[in-house]
DNA sequence: CCTTACCTACCTACTAGTAGATAAATCTTG
DNA sequence: CAAGATTTATCTACTAGTAGGTAGGTAAGG
C-alpha cells in the first residue's frame, strides 16, 4: 500500500464524503478542487486516474473500518454489546445522511476496477466474520441463544444492515435502521 | 400518469437496463441513442430532462413490480409460497447481474427529483405491506409461526433482500442472496 | 393545417486527463 | 560545506471527448 501524505488524505476525505452522499459517479475532480483547494491537475499527481483514486479510497476505508471493529472487540467483553456497538457505527453513518461507502461502490460496481471490487468483497466478508465471532462469544457467555447458527446470522446481519441503511436514508429516517437492528438483535437474545 | 408509446417504452427499457446494471449516473443519452436507434435530441421529445426520465422510469417500474406481487398473491394461496415466489423475482434480477432499480436509485438519491424519491419510499412500503399480508395469511393457515410479528418481519425482509442483492451482485454469486433468503424464510416456518 | 415524431445542427458546460513550467526541498558528491 | 542533481508538489494552459439540452426544420397522417 502506498503511503499517503496530508494532501492525499484530504483528497480522499472529500472523495469519500461525496461517494457516501452522492455516489462515485456523481462527483468530479472539480468538486475535489473546490473543497481541497488544489487544482484538478494536482489531483492526478496523487491519483493518476479516477479508478485509482477509488481503489486508494476503498483500501483506506476498509482498513479504517476493520480497525474500528477490532477496537470495539477490545473495548467490550460482551459479544452482544460488540454487536450493538458495531450497529451504532452504521446508525451514525445514516444520521449523517450517508450510505456505507462499500455499499455505494457495490451499486456502482461497473465504474471501478477489479481490485476495488475485490476490496468490497473482502470488506463484506471481514465484517461478516467479525459478527460471527461476536455471536459465538455471546453464546459462550450464555447471553445469546445457543440454537442460532452464528454464521447464518452473520451473513444475514450484514445484508440487513446494508439494505436498511439504503432504505433509511431514502426515507430520511435513521429510525428505520434502528428498528431493523433492534428487531434483529432482540431475536438473538435469550 | 402520461401515456407512453412504443418508442417511449423502448427508451425506458434501455434506461432501466443501464440503471439496474451500471447506475443512473453511469449512462448517457448517447447510450440510449445507440440502443434504441433514435437521436439524443429525440429522447428529449419524450422526456424533457434526465430527471423526468428517471421519474417516468421509476413510476413504470414500481407499477409493474406491484402488479407482479398482486399476480403472485392471486396465483398462490399459501402465504409462505407467496413469499418464496416473491423472493424468486429478486433472485432472477441478481442472476441477470442487475440490482433492484429502486435500490440503485436509492443509492443515487441526490441525482433524482423529490417526486422520484417519493416513488422509492412508496415502493419499499408497498413491498413491505405485501410481505406483511402474506405472513399474516400464513399464520392464519398455521404454516408460519404465530409468535413472529408480521410487521417486524416484513420491515427486515425488505431490507435483507436489498442488502443481500447488493452483496450477491458484488460477489457475482446469486447464491449469496439465495442463502440469505432461505435462512430468513426457514426461521419463519413452524 | 395542426400534431406527432422524428431529424440535423448546434451550444455551453463540464469531463478526465496531459504537457510542461516552476519553485522549493532534499539528497549527492567533489 | 557548497554546487549540482533530483525529487516533490504544485501551478497554468491545454486537449479531446462527452454531458444534457435547445432551436428549428421536415415529413407523414389525421
Chain C positions with a protein C-beta closer than 7 Å: 4-10, 14-20
Cβ of A48 near strand C (under 7 Å)? The reply is yes
B126 sits within 7 Å of strand C by its CB:
no
| Residue that has been written with the C-alpha cell 459517479 in this structure | A25
- Quick check: helix, strand or coil at residue B22? coil
Report the half-sphere exposure of B97 (CA within 13 A, side-chain side). Answer: 8
Q: What distances in angstroms separate CA A142 from CA A74, A134, B14, B150, one per listed residue?
A: 19, 12, 54, 28
Question: Could you tell me how many residues make up chain B?
Answer: 190
Using the beta-carbon criterion (under 8 Å), do B121 and A176 form an inter-chain contact? no
Work out if B42's Cβ lies within 7 angstroms of strand C.
Answer: yes
- Region A186-190: what's the mean pLDDT? 87
Q: Residue B1: its pLDDT value, please?
A: 42
For residue A107, the tally of other CB atoms under 10 A from its CB is 30
pLDDT value of position A6: 85
Q: Treating both helix axes as pointing N-terminal to C-terminal, what angle do A79-95 and A50-75 enclose, rounded to 10 degrees?
A: 140
What is the dihedral sign for C-alpha B70, B75, B77, B81? negative
Q: Do B83 and B148 form a contact (C-beta atoms < 8 A)?
A: no
Q: Nearest CA of chain B to the CA of A87: how many Å?
A: 15
Cell numbers 435469550 correspond to A190
Which residue ranges form the domains of chain A, and what is each CATH number? 6-186 (1.10.357.10)
Cβ-based neighbour number of residue B130 at 10 Å: 21
pLDDT of A2 strictly over 60: no
Q: List residues bridging with B144 in a β-sheet.
A: B189
On chain A, the residues whose CB falls within 8 A of the CB of B164 are: 156, 159, 163
C-alpha separations of B146 from A41, A58, B11, B141, B142 in Å: 63, 44, 47, 10, 8
Give residues lining strand D (CB < 7 Å): A 5, 7, 37-42, 45; B 27-31, 40-41, 44, 48-51
Q: Is the CB of B37 under 7 A from strand C?
A: yes
Which of B99, B107, B151 is best to mutate for the A interface (most A CBs within 10 A)?
B107
Q: Residue B41: what pLDDT?
A: 85
A 51-70: CB within 7 Å of strand C: 51
| Residue B41: burial class (beta carbons within 10 Å; 0-12, 13-18, 19+) | exposed
SS3 A55: helix
Query: According to the model, what pLDDT value does residue B3 have?
Result: 62
Q: What is the pLDDT of residues A66-113, one digit of tens each?
A: 999 999 999 999 999 999 999 999 999 999 999 999 999 999 999 999
HEC-encoded secondary structure of B55-87: HHHHHHHHHHHHHHHHHHHHHCCCHHHHHHHHH
Positions in chain D where some atom is under 7 Å from a protein CB:
8-14, 18-24
Please tell me which of the candidates B23, B158, B169 has its beta carbon nearest to residue A25: B23
At which residue does the C-alpha cell 450510505 appear? A99
pLDDT at A143 over 50: yes
Distance CA A133, CA A137 (A): 6
Evaluate if residue A157 carries a pLDDT over 90: yes
> Residues near B48 by Cβ (< 8 Å), separated by ≥ 6?
none
- Look-up: residue for cell 422509492? B120
Q: Do the Cβ atoms of B160 and A159 come within 8 Å?
A: yes
Q: What is the mean pLDDT of each run of 10 residues along chain B (190 residues)?
A: 76 92 92 88 88 93 97 97 98 97 95 94 98 97 92 97 98 98 92
Cell numbers that stand for B151 in this block: 410487521
3-class SS of residue A144 = strand
What value does the CA radius of gyration of chain B take, rounded to a whole number of Å?
A: 18
Looking at every residue in chain A, the average pLDDT score rounds to 94
For residues B157 and B108, give the distance between their C-alpha atoms in angstroms, rounded to a whole number: 22
A136-167: buried (b, 16+ CB within 10 Å) or exposed (e) per residue?
bbbbeeebbeeeeebbbbbbbbbbbbbbbbbb
Residue B171 and residue A169 in contact, taking contact as beta carbons nearer than 8 Å = no
The two most distant CA atoms of chain A are separated, in Å, by 58
pLDDT of residue A3: 61
Contact between chains at A159 and B167 (C-beta distance less than 8 A): yes
* Chain A interface test: which of B21, B119, B160, B176 (most A C-beta within 10 Å): B160
Q: Is residue A40's beta carbon less than 7 angstroms from any atom in nucleic acid strand C?
A: yes
Residues with Cβ < 8 Å from B123, sequence gap 6 or more?
A: B58, B61, B62, B65, B102
Which pLDDT belongs to residue B40? 86
Q: Kindly give the residue spans of alpha helices, DSSP state H, lying in A6-149.
A: 6-21, 29-36, 40-46, 50-75, 79-95, 101-107, 114-140
Amino acid at each position: 500500500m502506498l503511503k499517503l501524505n496530508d494532501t492525499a488524505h484530504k483528497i480522499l476525505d472529500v472523495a469519500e464524503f461525496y461517494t457516501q452522499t452522492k455516489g462515485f459517479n456523481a462527483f468530479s475532480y472539480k468538486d475535489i478542487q473546490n473543497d481541497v483547494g488544489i487544482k484538478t491537475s494536482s489531483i492526478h499527481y496523487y491519483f493518476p486516474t479516477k479508478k485509482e483514486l477509488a481503489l486508494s479510497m476503498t483500501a483506506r476505508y476498509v482498513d479504517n473500518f476493520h480497525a474500528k471493529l477490532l477496537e470495539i472487540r477490545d473495548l467490550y467483553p460482551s459479544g452482544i454489546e460488540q454487536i450493538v456497538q458495531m450497529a451504532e457505527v452504521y446508525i451514525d453513518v445514516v444520521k449523517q445522511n450517508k450510505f456505507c461507502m462499500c455499499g455505494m461502490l457495490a451499486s456502482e460496481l461497473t465504474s471501478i476496477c477489479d481490485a476495488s471490487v475485490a476490496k468490497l468483497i473482502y470488506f463484506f466478508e471481514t465484517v461478516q466474520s467479525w459478527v460471527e465471532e461476536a455471536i459465538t462469544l455471546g453464546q459462550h457467555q450464555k447471553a445469546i441463544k445457543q440454537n442460532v447458527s452464528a454464521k447464518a446470522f452473520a451473513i444475514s446481519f450484514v445484508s440487513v444492515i446494508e439494505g436498511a441503511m439504503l432504505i433509511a436514508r431514502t426515507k430520511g429516517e435513521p429510525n428505520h435502521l434502528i428498528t431493523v437492528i433492534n428487531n434483529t438483535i432482540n431475536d438473538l437474545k435469550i
